[in-house]
Structure 1
Amino acid sequence: MTLIPVILALLHAVGVVRIGVLQRLDDIIYDARLRATMPNTQDDRIVIVNIDEKSLAEVGRWPWGRNKLAQLITTLFDEQQIALIGFDVVFAEADESSGLTRLNELARNEFRDQAGFSDRLRQLQPELDFDAAFARAIANRPVVMGYYLTSDGEGRSNGTLPAPVLTPDVLQGRPIKATSWNGFGSNIDQLAKAAPLAGFFNSITDGDGVVRSLPLLAEYKGQYYESISLAMFRAIAGMPKVAPGFSNEKFLARSYQGMDRVLLKQGEKALAIPVDERVATLVPYRGRGGVQGGSFRYVSASDVLSKKLPLHSLKDKIILLGTTAPGLLDLRVTPVGETYPGVETHANIISALLDGSVLVKPDYAVGYEVVILTLAGLLLSIGLPLLSAPRAVLLSVAVVSVLVLTNLWLYLSYGLVLPLASALTMAITAFGLNMSYGYFVESRSKRELANLFGTYVPPELVDEMVKDPDSYSMKATNRELTVMFCDMRGFTKMSERMEPTQLQELLTGVFSRLTSLIRANRGTIDKYMGDCVMAFWGAPVETAEHAHLAVKSSMEMANAIREINLEHRAKGLPEIGIGIGLNTGTMCVGDMGSNIRRSYTVIGDAVNLGSRLEGLSKAYGLDIVVSEATRKLAPDFAWQELDRVRVKGKEQAVAIFWPLAPLARVSAEVADEVKTWAQFLKAYRAQNWDQADVLLINLMRMNAKKYLYQLYSERVASMRLLPFDPEWDGATNFETK
């Protein structure tokens, strides 16, 4: 059964059965990994001159007159001394905004007999020919023009294309799967001749409408043209020649025959840029994008035109002229934002090319996917059926962790984007199928055991029990356990003041919080008795530290009641108190009751003492009273002895204690108080009332609000009136339950 997801995943990997949801999941994984690993730092080498809303408001709606653009170019090169500029816009039509065309018509027609008009027009020609002015501004300067490629039924073209960077003869007849187009929209001839270096600014939109990659080369009528980001990088690098790079089959035979890298050759040196089968590279987004994104500096085009920038503030910068204005429709959906400026995608590619850190899905991605699916699938198929549930979980977690960490390492170290969704889905599905099969065929005894004890003990303990169901039964046995009785104080008063439904809601909320603490500390709920809950530790699952867990649970319950009272105080509800009694001893535990109703419970003398101790908590003004037997088994806590008591039904006196805090958290002041209290008890039991009084005065100075000290102050005052009794053992008798 485990082999089913492995086979399906392999069929998807090799393309026999394409599972769309896996491709979508791969995209989601890629997007999440990209966002998590983005540097979120600014690349100061690249600046975007932004045709933003401010520029449109101050200069006018787009397109601007080319005279304005000529002024912009002149300012950037002459005053700011930039290194290079690329246009993420296209100038596909002549600029007639100056009215020169109309004036020439007038000179040829209505005003042809007025020599002065024609002469003056010839004088103004250089100023009014905005295209010529723009062409002069960009000529002989490091400028990369932009254009776009299109595909439609008619294959319409407009403008002048630059020279291709690759011709079919250099491809050695290999099948290149670069994006192919049958039309274009480029710059007018006058501008194309002035700045012959140009690149397309097309992106690749995936099936979910997200732009994750940009092609570096694209095909048009058998010729290959470069993107604007590659053209700008080549301009920066000294115009190396573009050449195709093919899979090296000298060391490793590959069936893939396409281009796996773009080579930039300059003399004997060659820089290799890895690309995918579409001759594209993934956009390594630096941040969330936009003016406030922090990845690149944005400068408003209107600030350049009005010369508000400090002189040389853009010196040696690589400039991209583009727009973030929504009305100019150059905002794209990307993995890092739904309104990402298109111009910034090119900036990210240029930045990555400069750093040599491009991301790419390599041509051997399919082979890699097949290998990891085969290895992981075989390991899970063999291992899961042979292992217990916990070990099967560990194996599955280990396989998934290795898959994820390997994939992440290749991504971070080498910029390789490799498929992960199919392997993760295969591993998780294989585990799920194996566990489901194990559940449905597991022995009836395990399921019955879980059903039998599930309402008494925490799910974690049930999970331990089903590993060895034969070791557990409802048969009564004698064991050393720790029992707890917890009674809610003030219940009668609340029942008189509150509606039944309100009282029910309050009790349910309180008991739910207390029960969760008992279960979190591996306790077994015995029963609820009105406003009292009974629990015990050490059965059905034996727990060596049952006393420690019971004390820890009781202290957490007392803290929870304090928090509940703060909430009640804020809501105007009555405050509540609790009394908890804990005792450890040998008890009979098992399924007990009648033929009509039975329950898993504990009985015995030690249980009765626990109940009596809960009743004593009110007498001593404390929320927890613990027997000496429990204290001895919980040495990790600091304790204050309360008394020796003789409860109803017990002739032998027992020492009772109050847990102060875990030993590691006891302050020096509390330790001094406990030491002084021990001295007082010694004097009290020796009937040395004068010394007892002095020690009580010191104790009240340490903690004046403690009811225990007031209680003993009254006892000392009362017993001082009695004669010395050599038979007195220092114990207090309690006749009530």
Structure 2
Amino acid sequence: MGTFARHWTRIAVTLIPLVIALLHASGAMPLGFLQRFDEFLYDARLRATMPKTMDERIVIVDIDEKSLAEIGRWPWGRNRMAQLTDELFDRQQVAVVGFDVVFAEPDDSSGLKRLRQLAESELKDQPGFAARVDQLAPGLDYDAAFARSLRKRPVVLGYYFSSDRGGGRTGVLPAPVIRRQDLNGHPIRLTSWNGYAANIEQIAMAAPAAGFFNPIVDGDGVVRSVPLIAGYEDGYYESLSLAMFRLLLGAPAVEPGYARDRFFSRSYQGLESVVLRLGQKSLGIPVDNRVAALVPFRGPGGAQGGSFRYVSASDLVVQRLPAGSLKGKIILVGTTAPGLQDLRSTPMGETYPGVETHANMISGLLDGRLMVKPDYAVGYDVVVLFIAGVALALALPLISAPKAVLVSLGVLAAVVGLNFWLFLGVGLVLPMAAALALILTAFGLNMSYGYFIESRSKRELANLFGTYVPPELVDEMVKAPDNYTMQAVNKELTVMFCDMRGFTKMSERMEPVQLQELLNAVFNRLSDIIRSHRGTIDKYMGDCVMAFWGAPVDTAEHAHLAVQSAMEMVQAVRLINDEHREKGLPDIGVGIGLNTGMMCVGDMGSQVRRSYTVIGDAVNLGARLEGLSKTYGVDIVVSESTRKLAPACAWQELDRVRVKGKEQSVAIFWPVAPADALEPAQSQELKTWAAFLKAYRAQDWEQCDLLLLNLLRMNPKKYLYELYSERVASMKLLPFDPEWDGATNFENK
């Protein structure tokens, strides 16, 4: 929870596109560009997955340019349509014929109407004229001839609904397949019109069925779906494709299909399916909330599209096609001639034959291959958006940029994969645009926030601390920059003072530039050791380096790391001296003081100059200990507080001292070696030395002389033993002092 709290701003920024996407998906704030994007994605999925094979069951009889040139301009006389119908059923023996045209006006092209007018007016006195007209009427009544061709044959006529202010109505509608009372009080939200243009009564009554051929045109002018059922007044009527499909099945009854696993109230306005029932058998056709289905396009449209066979209508009228060539086929009569205006914009192209949309629908109905956008698409979209959005909001702010890319790609792949699986496997068309936009926007906002906001703070942090602390510590700090500031705090730290000796003599013999290069080279070597052990370099003071451990990054082993650094620095100085001897330069020495305690660390200084440093009594003691290293003839002097926190070393206690400004004495130590690398001789020497210090503080000078003799035999060159030999010699001249605590007082800094 603490991690989330630190990144709450970035999480909130990432949640912004989620809120917008949810408002769009729920319909509270629909965004047109996302709707267009969803339509684009649907079109792309459809084109990528359509079979692109020919359905041999369906044939389109095309009133094309060739037919118009040969037979004449449209509309043709009904005698020609009768010839065409007779040819299809008598010679070609087709299964069913559907007309994607409407016969909304009587056919007067034969002249019969004018002859009857003459018989009743100008030529009514002409003997036998009216009788002759009556004799000719059966052959000249083209509508009657066409009606005779339709009667008792499996034919579906086409008509269309319209919506205008006047609600114009022409022709005769077929009987509705569902009436309002069949819905049992459930209102249906579907496509409704207030007018129609249907076939004239004489033709309409001759055909067994009729269906409307209106498509649904989306906001971008593209036809993607067709309503299977549409409403007009108190009736619900079937489409041309559904009417032909029903005729093929034996004219089953049409029933509304409600979801079986859902309780419907009167406020629910949707169907799950259109049910076709014939006896005990039933077939459910899935529909969307407009009682429509998406057109399952098979491929590009037109005679060259390869989805359906096209036959020129003129070839049938003049009987060029061999008899039985279309036996058992499903026939759709329509037009592709541009002047007849039945070309639609679809996902397959901008000039797609309208008649072929019905062919695709019939093909899909036959194969059970209809795509549908279910009524729960909104709920699906909301759930996917919520899961993806929350997952990204909680994950992206906490991980690195490469991992954020992988996580975002993973969520994107999951959303797209689920959507495609439902599309291909179940035939569900579900929204995806909002989810894709959410993922990309959330990723973009998160990365932008990280770069422009957090990266700025990280860069500032790196600029602040980069010259003090090792790069690896800066890398740790920039992961949570809010945790690190220059503000002063009290913390337990370990401080180091390292003074290099011998540079004064060298400065007398070397040019300033040479001395500068030499000093910088030594500082670089020692600074690298400090930084490699997570130390923070405080400052360089002449030939002295000041550093500390435990800030700005918390380090539990700060004392241990400081001791390790000190021992490696001593070894590095020995190697430097080896190099100096080869160059004829004098040796340099080093004195290091280490102390652990509470210190104030932070940005200190003035408006002119500031630095990240430590202050306090514990810091002052560290500086005093560095000065004592020369007194005791050792390279490193460590306080007791540091020694307790670094048990991995073998220690030799040097003394108890009382430095200037401190009333309490402190024990000081020298690190002999790592505890696991201590040699037996060294171990024996330390035991002897511990016995000596005990005798020394008890003022047992004879025992001290004896132990010192042994110690000098073990290590004759050690200055510490010579120092204590002189002290014992001096102390032996003084009387026994019961108040003496064994500490050595130092008044100098």
Give TM-score, length-normalised by structure 1.
0.60
Q: Deviations over 1:48-77 (max 9, x none)?
A: 000000000000000000000100000110
Letter in 1 for 2:220: D
Q: How does 1:585-624 map to 2 (within 5 A)?
A: none
CA 1:427–1:304 in structure 2 vs 1: closer, same or farther (change >3 Å)?
Answer: same
Q: Deviations over 1:355-410 (max 9, x none)?
A: 00101000110111111111111111111111111111000000001101110110
Aligned positions, number: 459
Letter in 2 for 1:364: Y
Residue 171 of structure 1: CA displacement?
Answer: 1.2
2:394 to 382, 391, 412: 382
Q: Deviations over 1:457-503 (max 9, x none)?
A: xxxxxxxxx98999xxxxxxxxxxxxxxxxxxxxxxxxxxxxxxxxx
**Do the aligned residues in 1 keep the contact of 2:273 with 2:286 (CA within 8 Å)?**
yes
CA 1:444–1:181 in structure 2 vs 1: closer, same or farther (change >3 Å)?
Answer: closer
For 1:634, the equivalent position in structure 2 comes to none
CA distance, structure 1, for counterparts of residue 228 and residue 262 of structure 2: 26
CA distance, structure 1, for counterparts of residue 459 and residue 58 of structure 2: 66
**Do the aligned residues in 2 keep the contact of 1:247 with 1:257 (CA within 8 Å)?**
no
For 2:18, the equivalent position in structure 1 comes to 6
**Do the aligned residues in 2 keep the contact of 1:203 with 1:215 (CA within 8 Å)?**
yes
**Do the aligned residues in 2 keep the contact of 1:247 with 1:258 (CA within 8 Å)?**
no
For 1:152, the equivalent position in structure 2 comes to 164
For 2:235, the equivalent position in structure 1 comes to 223
Runs of 4+ in 1 over 6 A off after TM superposition: 251-255, 445-451, 466-470
CA 1:254–1:127 in structure 2 vs 1: closer, same or farther (change >3 Å)?
Answer: closer
CA distance, structure 2, for counterparts of residue 218 and residue 79 of structure 1: 36
Q: Deviations over 1:251-302 (max 9, x none)?
A: 9999854212100011121100111111110111111101111110000000
**Do the aligned residues in 2 keep the contact of 1:13 with 1:366 (CA within 8 Å)?**
yes
Tell me how large the CA RMSD over aligned residues is: 2.5
For 2:574, the equivalent position in structure 1 comes to none
For 2:143, the equivalent position in structure 1 comes to 131
Q: Deviations over 1:85-138 (max 9, x none)?
A: 000000000000000000111122222233332332222111100000000001
2:27 to 3, 9, 15: 15
For 1:99, the equivalent position in structure 2 comes to 111
**Do the aligned residues in 2 keep the contact of 1:276 with 1:363 (CA within 8 Å)?**
yes
CA 1:450–1:191 in structure 2 vs 1: closer, same or farther (change >3 Å)?
Answer: farther
CA distance, structure 1, for counterparts of residue 438 and residue 80 of structure 2: 59
2:340 to 315, 328, 333: 328
Q: Deviations over 1:112-170 (max 9, x none)?
A: 23333233222211110000000000100000000000111111100000000001111
Q: Percent identity?
A: 64
CA distance, structure 1, for counterparts of residue 234 and residue 228 of structure 2: 16
Residue 445 of structure 1: CA displacement?
Answer: 9.7
Comparing 381-390 and 92-101, the one that deviates more = 381-390
Letter in 2 for 1:195: A
**Do the aligned residues in 2 keep the contact of 1:234 with 1:240 (CA within 8 Å)?**
yes
Residue 185 of structure 1: CA displacement?
Answer: 0.2
**Do the aligned residues in 2 keep the contact of 1:144 with 1:198 (CA within 8 Å)?**
yes
Comparing 274-283 and 103-112, the one that deviates more = 103-112
2:358 to 346, 366, 379: 346
For 2:81, the equivalent position in structure 1 comes to 69
Secondary structure of residue in 1 paired with 2:178: coil
Q: How does 1:372-451 map to 2 (within 5 A)?
A: 372-443=384-455
Q: Deviations over 1:300-342 (max 9, x none)?
A: 0001111111211100000000000000000011111100000
For 2:564, the equivalent position in structure 1 comes to none
Letter in 2 for 1:167: R
**Do the aligned residues in 1 keep the contact of 2:187 with 2:268 (CA within 8 Å)?**
no
1:56 to 45, 52, 68: 68
Q: Deviations over 1:641-695 (max 9, x none)?
A: xxxxxxxxxxxxxxxxxxxxxxxxxxxxxxxxxxxxxxxxxxxxxxxxxxxxxxx
For 1:87, the equivalent position in structure 2 comes to 99
CA distance, structure 1, for counterparts of residue 291 and residue 456 of structure 2: 59
For 2:224, the equivalent position in structure 1 comes to 212
Letter in 1 for 2:429: V
For 1:262, the equivalent position in structure 2 comes to 274
Secondary structure of residue in 2 paired with 1:2: helix
For 1:359, the equivalent position in structure 2 comes to 371
**Do the aligned residues in 2 keep the contact of 1:67 with 1:130 (CA within 8 Å)?**
yes
CA distance, structure 2, for counterparts of residue 440 and residue 254 of structure 1: 54
For 1:195, the equivalent position in structure 2 comes to 207
For 2:122, the equivalent position in structure 1 comes to 110
Letter in 1 for 2:119: A
Secondary structure of residue in 1 paired with 2:438: helix
CA distance, structure 1, for counterparts of residue 397 and residue 14 of structure 2: 9
Letter in 1 for 2:198: S
For 2:257, the equivalent position in structure 1 comes to 245
Name structure 2 gaps, 5 residues minimum.
1-12, 464-473, 479-749
**Do the aligned residues in 1 keep the contact of 2:159 with 2:199 (CA within 8 Å)?**
yes
**Do the aligned residues in 2 keep the contact of 1:2 with 1:434 (CA within 8 Å)?**
yes
CA distance, structure 2, for counterparts of residue 325 and residue 118 of structure 1: 41
**Do the aligned residues in 1 keep the contact of 2:119 with 2:129 (CA within 8 Å)?**
yes
Comparing 13-22 and 315-324, the one that deviates more = 13-22
**Do the aligned residues in 1 keep the contact of 2:245 with 2:366 (CA within 8 Å)?**
yes
For 1:182, the equivalent position in structure 2 comes to 194
CA 1:407–1:256 in structure 2 vs 1: closer, same or farther (change >3 Å)?
Answer: farther
Letter in 2 for 1:369: D
Q: Tell me whether 1:47 sits opposite 2:59 in the alignment.
A: yes
CA distance, structure 2, for counterparts of residue 338 and residue 437 of structure 1: 43
CA distance, structure 2, for counterparts of residue 235 and residue 144 of structure 1: 8
CA 1:448–1:303 in structure 2 vs 1: closer, same or farther (change >3 Å)?
Answer: farther
Secondary structure of residue in 2 paired with 1:149: strand
Q: Tell me whether 1:142 sits opposite 2:154 in the alignment.
A: yes
**Do the aligned residues in 2 keep the contact of 1:247 with 1:254 (CA within 8 Å)?**
no
Letter in 1 for 2:160: Y
**Do the aligned residues in 1 keep the contact of 2:144 with 2:202 (CA within 8 Å)?**
yes
**Do the aligned residues in 2 keep the contact of 1:164 with 1:223 (CA within 8 Å)?**
yes
CA 1:467–1:297 in structure 2 vs 1: closer, same or farther (change >3 Å)?
Answer: farther
CA distance, structure 1, for counterparts of residue 475 and residue 263 of structure 2: 52
Comparing 68-77 and 243-252, the one that deviates more = 243-252
CA distance, structure 2, for counterparts of residue 149 and residue 46 of structure 1: 25
CA 1:299–1:449 in structure 2 vs 1: closer, same or farther (change >3 Å)?
Answer: farther
CA distance, structure 2, for counterparts of residue 92 and residue 441 of structure 1: 70
Secondary structure of residue in 2 paired with 1:247: coil
For 2:131, the equivalent position in structure 1 comes to 119
Q: How does 1:264-663 map to 2 (within 5 A)?
A: 264-443=276-455
Residue 249 of structure 1: CA displacement?
Answer: 3.2
For 2:669, the equivalent position in structure 1 comes to none
Name structure 1 gaps, 5 residues minimum.
452-465, 471-737
**Do the aligned residues in 2 keep the contact of 1:146 with 1:186 (CA within 8 Å)?**
yes
Q: Tell me whether 1:29 sits opposite 2:41 in the alignment.
A: yes
CA distance, structure 1, for counterparts of residue 54 and residue 476 of structure 2: 60
CA distance, structure 2, for counterparts of residue 116 and residue 104 of structure 1: 13
Secondary structure of residue in 2 paired with 1:178: coil
Q: Deviations over 1:689-735 (max 9, x none)?
A: xxxxxxxxxxxxxxxxxxxxxxxxxxxxxxxxxxxxxxxxxxxxxxx
CA 1:26–1:108 in structure 2 vs 1: closer, same or farther (change >3 Å)?
Answer: same
For 2:584, the equivalent position in structure 1 comes to none
CA distance, structure 2, for counterparts of residue 12 and residue 273 of structure 1: 29
For 1:236, the equivalent position in structure 2 comes to 248
